[in-house]
Structures are given as structure tokens and as C-alpha cells.
Structure 1
């Protein structure tokens, strides 16, 4: 059996009794960072054998873990913090186990994104986890444009070195939405700053970012709210041209116009093509 075991995201008391027992009874523990996990195992007096499984060795290590599982071993998969399989290669091991008919058992625990969501003060009825955003500016703006009309609260992970740039990019693409900046969850200096993009950017100027962040962003108005949209009186061609005038290339401008209107980029392309015809 393959056990997916949640580990602390900050406070060691995030660890559940079931998680400790599962790790003690497993034959092997597959860890994203063995050094980090070894500290956790030492704290809870767990002597189970440890093996490395991460993005850079997932193919070789994954094959070996599947072999052990097929032979009847109990393997527990853990990440550096929180639930395995979230923004790490754990899902690939799960997929391979499922294909081999191996039982996969969740051992729930703390999760940073959901913990940030429930304290954000933003709607929790529907949410979309987007993880880490691209670093390169053009790709970042394209990604944000694609998320502009998602009718859900948006969840992201971000480093302290990039959080201000990411917020500024969100402000530029989405307008001045509400956001919660949540950091150091379950640790001593846990903090949640809530406000608009502008207010949170001002906060970061006075309080330099520290620790890993979860960004919880309010849903946009989406395609359903076009009455007050700045582009509502523009044709598709004029809409695209407006973004090109702001420095976007043709492809990016079409993608942003599509996100604004709640349609696919192909719809925008076909409309422009028909106009030319």
C-alpha cells in the first residue's frame, strides 16, 4: 500500500497521531528532502528507513518504489511540508501505483493553501489552486490573463523575493482586487494581511517580505459582468489593439481580450479573421 502522509507546515503539533503511527509502521518512507524529513522522524522517534523521491530523481526512484510496493511493501510518501502531491511530483507516483493496482491511502494533515483560504475572509464556496506562477514577465502576464475570469477565489504560493512583483503584476492585469497575504502559517510569526492589491503593496513597502507566502485573491467579475467593463463598447479588433498599444504582442493581446470576454482565444482569432475577410 502507498500512504500519502500529511506533515507539519510549520508547527510540529500539526502532525496527527495517525500520521506518526503510519510512518512508524511503514517499511519505507519516500521523502522530498530526506534531511528535512529526518529531523521530523527524530522528533517523533520514528526509525523507518528513508529513501529520496523528488523532481530530479522521480523516474528512477519511482520505478524502485513501485517495485517495492508490488512486492508487498508499505511505503509512506511525504513532502517537505503539508500534503504530498501538491506542487510536487507525488501525483506521478500515485498515478503509477493506481495503474499497477496498488492501494493508495490518504493520511490527511495540514495544507498551507486551504489554511490560508479559510482565514482570508474571502469566499470559500469555490476556489482554484494555481500554485506557483511563471517567473518570466511575459509568461506571468499570459497566465494571469488566462485566470482573469475564473469564477472562484484564487490560491497561489509565492516566495518572499517575488511576492511584491507578483502582486504588482496581478494589479496590472486584474485591477485592484481584494487579496490576503498569508505567511508563516502555524509558526510563531504567522501573519495575515488583508486589503486591496494597492493596500498590500503599501504594506510590503513598510514591512519587507519574510517567509513563504500564500496569496488568496478575490474572484473577478468575469464575463457575466460586462455592463461596467471598460471594453464593452469596443469591437474585438479594437479590444486587441488596445492591449497591443500597451506593449503586448499580438498573441498575448488576443489572450487577454479572450479572458476579458470569457471566450476562447480561438474565438477571438476567428472574429479577427472574419473581419479581414
Structure 2
């Protein structure tokens, strides 16, 4: 493996042996309030030879607000990245500075920009971050949960089996877990987290930096009740409390290993007073298998 060292601002256009190659700027855009944008981001968008945007219509509104007239505005998103990515790289190699933006926040976070960055790095193109607002970190710092250790998981997979596997892998993480979710899926997602990880403290943040910004904190069960009375609106960032050290050690010791599945389920019914259904769900989580496997074994 060869080492690649990037000196982001060592050479400028017209100077040095790399003067003909442009740079890729990853420009953070507002996540709600237009004042989220930085002076540096505005200047970078003004000076860029090309701006690549996830949604050009949305980006034109932003550029118009800040009176920026783009020299060239191109589309780059999940559905055209295979064709557009190499073409954008070619334009940078030809000497154009390219500013990549997403609809909101930092490009390359839960965003096809990560693929463009990989292409740029492979070609030795300088990739320069222009920092700014980020929804996940904004939710973390207002959550009231620990911020010294956290893990970002983005949107959970739609496939049920893959989603369960991911939640099981996150269950024993002792730091705060950060997730994104849409309003029509958040109730189902919280129920999956409750089934897999237990009733933990969470914070649900929506409309961040906008006029109707709202943060709801409480146990998962309490937040589910709240959502039952207050229908979800807007995109959500969810911060989930991490596992407690004793909880991880107990699972790590596989205390249930000598038990049959029936004995395992009975333990939760008798010792913790759970319903048969909840006991089976918790048994499935312990064993790292799907709930239907436990149901079938007890038939």
C-alpha cells in the first residue's frame, strides 16, 4: 500500500508542477436556517469553476439567496453518480476547481459524495473540506446523552434481516448511537430499536435550526407514546443511549448458553415478568437470531 500525503494549499493554479489540476471542495450547506452557511462556504461557491449539486433546483435557490452566479452548475446524485462521477473527475484533472454540495449539511455523509471523494483520492486530486452545519452532530450535542464517544449509523437498512443484524451490532456499543429517519418510518424504527436494545433513553431532533426546531427526550417507550399522540413531521435525527457496561458483560458471558430456548424464554417471563411475546423477542436478541426462529422453535 502506497502512502498518499495531501498538502491542500501548497500549490495554487499557475504555480508548481500540479498547477493544471483543480481541487475538489466539499462545501457544507445550511441544514435549515440559511444563516448556517459560513463566509468561507460562500466564497468557495463564488470562486469555484464548477458546482456539482444533488438537486440543482434546490441549490439554485441557495445560490440566488446569496447572490452567487455559478460559472457552471452540474447535477451529481445517487442515480447518475456512475456516469457523472468520472466526468466530474475529468473536469477537475483538466484544471477546474469543483465545489460539491448536498441538499443540506455536509456532502459525503449519507450522500453519494463519498463515491466522488474515492475517485478523487484515487486520482491524487486534493479533497478539501469546507466545514459547516451537520444534523447528526447538532442532534448529539443537544441530546443530553454522552458526547465523548458516539457512532453514526445513518439511515437503517430497509431489508428486515440486514436491519436486525445492524441493530444487534450496535446493541453493545457503549457510546451514543446517531441515526437518521424519515417521518413515515420513525415509529417502526423506534420499535425495532426497543425490541433489540431494550428501553433506552433517546433524543429525537427534528427541524434543526429551523423555526419549529423540536427536541423530544425520554425513554423509547415514552417517545413512542408521544408520537402516537403527535404524528411525526419532518426528518428526524435520533440519538440513542449506549449500552451500560454491566449489560454488555452479562451478554458477553452468555449466561443463557446452558439453557434451552424454552428455558431461556421462561427465565424472562418468570424472573423479569415479561409477557410471552416480549420474552421471546428478548431471547432472540440475546441469541442473535431472528424472532421468527424463536417462535418456530417453540411451536
TM-score bucket (shorter structure)? 0.7 to 0.9
Measure, in 2, the Cα distance between the counterparts of 1:237 and 1:174.
21
* Structure 2 counterpart of 1:89: 112
CA contact (8 A) 1:150 1:222 kept: no
Q: Does 1:39 align with 2:61?
A: yes
* Structure 2 counterpart of 1:107: 130
Task: Provide Cα deviations, 1:36-95, integer angstroms capped at 9, x if missing partner.
Answer: 111101111111121000111112111111111101100000001000000011111111
* Structure 2 counterpart of 1:268: none
CA contact (8 A) 1:29 1:78 kept: yes
Of the three residues 22, 25, 28, the one matched with 2:47 is 25
Measure, in 2, the Cα distance between the counterparts of 1:242 and 1:62.
52
Q: Which shifted more, 93-102 or 122-131?
A: 93-102
* Structure 2 counterpart of 1:128: 151
* Structure 1 counterpart of 2:227: 204
* Structure 2 counterpart of 1:10: 32
SS of residue in 1 equivalent to 2:238: strand
Cα 1:225/1:147, change in 2 over 3 Å: closer
Structure 1 segment 1-277 matched on structure 2, within 5 A: 1-48=23-70, 49-221=72-244, 225-227=248-250, 233-235=255-257, 238=260, 242=264, 253=284, 257=287
Cα 1:237/1:95, change in 2 over 3 Å: farther
Q: Which shifted more, 135-144 or 79-88?
A: 135-144
User: What's the offset of the Cα at 1:204?
Assistant: 0.6
CA contact (8 A) 2:256 2:264 kept: no
User: What's the offset of the Cα at 1:240?
Assistant: 10
CA contact (8 A) 2:172 2:248 kept: no
User: What's the offset of the Cα at 1:106?
Assistant: 0.6
User: What's the offset of the Cα at 1:239?
Assistant: 6.3
CA contact (8 A) 1:18 1:107 kept: yes
CA contact (8 A) 1:239 1:257 kept: no
Larger Cα-atom Rg: 2
TM-score, length-scaled by structure 2: 0.78
Measure, in 1, the Cα distance between the counterparts of 2:204 and 2:89.
39
Task: Provide Cα deviations, 1:187-206, integer angstroms capped at 9, x if missing partner.
Answer: 01000000100111111111
Measure, in 2, the Cα distance between the counterparts of 1:22 and 1:240.
63
- Please list every run of 5 or more consecutive structure 2 residues that lacks an aligned counterpart in the other structure: 1-22, 266-275, 290-299
CA contact (8 A) 2:167 2:196 kept: yes
Measure, in 2, the Cα distance between the counterparts of 1:240 and 1:143.
26
Measure, in 2, the Cα distance between the counterparts of 1:27 and 1:36.
19
Task: Provide Cα deviations, 1:3-24, integer angstroms capped at 9, x if missing partner.
Answer: 0000000000001111011000
User: What's the offset of the Cα at 1:180?
Assistant: 0.2
Q: Which shifted more, 147-156 or 119-128?
A: 147-156
SS of residue in 2 equivalent to 1:226: helix
